[in-house]
């Protein structure tokens, strides 16, 4: 490093060489014209060569100065290209979500995002594991839990947890809706990894007489099984809003269950986001508000 010329001088020389004018270089660098001239003089002193001829109305390269500028400009261009490859694409956003959130909320809403932001390439990382903003290079994450999520993250509330019991109309055919406690007790239950049925039944003083029920690894699978009439699923209301509106699923009891495991959109805390990330955050919040 001791053999390198002054880097500020190289930068000033490269800028001044583009326009052959110290004032134009100063405007681009945000410094004074005198500062640029001094940095170039220091570079010339270090090299023992004159790089510019100072003219009444600007600059002219000396012969060694012209050759040196070609190489210095190429070096700065290589640095810019290396940095561009290192930095994330300003038009791409990678969001980490659970498979259930992806299947039941995000993917059905993606046409709206694409229509409003055709310039943004939104990529979805659907995984049950907690993705790392650093290790997995994600820009956003939807996580269920309770703040704080970490000092380096901003948390935006998307949905409060409101768990409802839903079933296909065929499963409760002939029953009066809302179903009675006795009917709820005997209906087959669909269980997922959240295992909410024991608490839901306890809160409503219902004894489970529906057998072991089907056990599934994801809430989205429990919803799919409910659609097929295989049992009653407990699921956050926002995940089945469309199915309830279409009457392919029925909320069979007005009883709900809330908790502190709400759904949040997380983003890295910093002074300035990638504009595409900011646009995605705004869309997620507006769509959730709907």
Q: Domain ranges in the chain? A: 7-86, 92-161+261-289, 162-258
Determine if the pTM surpasses 0.85: no
Q: Strands (DSSP E) along the chain, which ranges?
A: 52-55, 58-61, 92-97, 121-126, 140-145, 153-159, 162-167, 189-191, 214-215, 232-236, 250-251, 257-258, 262-268
Tell me, yes or no, if the two domains 92-161+261-289 and 162-258 fold the same way: yes
- What pLDDT score does 88 carry? 57
Q: Looking at residue 2, what is its pLDDT?
A: 59
Paired strand residues for 60: 53
Tell me the CATH number of domain 7-86, given options 1.10.10.10, 2.40.40.20, 1.10.3720.10, 1.10.101.10.
1.10.10.10
- Indicate the class that CATH gives domain 92-161+261-289: alpha beta
Round to whole Å and give the CA distance between 89 and 275: 11
From the list 186, 189, 199, 184, the residue with the least C-alpha distance to 253 is 184
Q: What are phi and psi of 54, to 5 degrees?
A: -85, 120
Strands (DSSP E) found in 110-188? 121-126, 140-145, 153-159, 162-167
In angstroms, the Cα distances linking 180 to 123, 164, 176, 186, 199 are 44, 15, 8, 10, 18
Q: Which of 6, 15, 8, 3 is nearest to 69 (CA)?
A: 15
CB 176, CB 280: distance < 8 Å: no
**Residues ≥6 apart with Cβ < 8 Å to 73:** 14, 17, 18
Kindly give the parts of the chain with pLDDT less than 50: 1, 271
Say how far apart CA 4 and CA 47 lie, in whole Å. 10
Phi, psi of 282 (to 5 degrees): -60, -40
The pLDDT of residue 271 is: 45
Angle between helical axes of 22-29 and 33-47 (0-180°, round to 10): 110
Reading the block at residue 175, the tokens are: 């029953």
CA distances from 102 to 79, 110, 142, 219, 241 (A): 39, 10, 10, 11, 15
The pLDDT value given to residue 116: 95
Let me know if domain 162-258 sits in CATH 3.40.190.10.
yes
Q: pLDDT at position 90, please?
A: 66
With b for 16 or more beta-carbon neighbours within 10 A and e for fewer, the 260-283 pattern comes to eebbbbbbbeeeebbebbebbbeb
What's the CA gap between 156 and 286, in Å, rounded? 11
């Amino acid at each position: 490093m001791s053999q390198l010329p002054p880097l500020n001088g190289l930068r000033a020389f490269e800028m001044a060489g583009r326009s052959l004018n110290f004032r134009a270089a100063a405007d681009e660098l945000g410094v004074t014209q005198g500062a640029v001239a001094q940095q170039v003089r220091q570079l010339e002193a270090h090299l023992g060569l004159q790089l510019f001829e100072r003219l009444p109305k600007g600059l002219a390269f000396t012969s060694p100065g012209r050759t040196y500028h070609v190489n210095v400009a190429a070096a700065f261009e290589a640095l810019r290209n290396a940095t561009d490859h290192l930095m994330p694409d300003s038009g791409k956003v990678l969001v980490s979500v659970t498979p259930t959130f992806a299947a039941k909320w995000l993917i059905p809403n993606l046409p709206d995002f694409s229509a409003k932001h055709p310039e943004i390439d939104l990529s979805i990382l659907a995984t049950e594991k907690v993705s790392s903003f650093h290790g997995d290079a994600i820009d956003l994450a939807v996580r269920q839990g309770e703040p704080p999520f970490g000092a380096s993250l901003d948390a935006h509330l998307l949905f409060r947890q409101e768990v409802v019991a839903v079933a296909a109309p065929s499963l409760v055919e002939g029953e009066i809706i809302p179903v009675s406690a006795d009917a709820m007790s005997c209906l087959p239950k669909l269980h997922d990894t959240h295992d909410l049925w024991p608490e839901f039944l306890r809160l409503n003083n219902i004894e489970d007489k529906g057998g072991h029920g089907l056990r599934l690894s994801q809430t989205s699978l429990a919803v799919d099984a409910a659609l097929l009439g295989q049992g009653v699923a407990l699921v956050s209301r926002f995940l089945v809003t469309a199915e309830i509106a279409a009457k392919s699923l029925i909320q069979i009891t007005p009883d709900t269950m809330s908790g502190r495991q709400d759904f949040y959109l997380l983003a890295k805390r910093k002074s300035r986001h990638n504009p595409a990330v900011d646009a995605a955050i705004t869309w997620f919040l507006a769509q959730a508000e709907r």
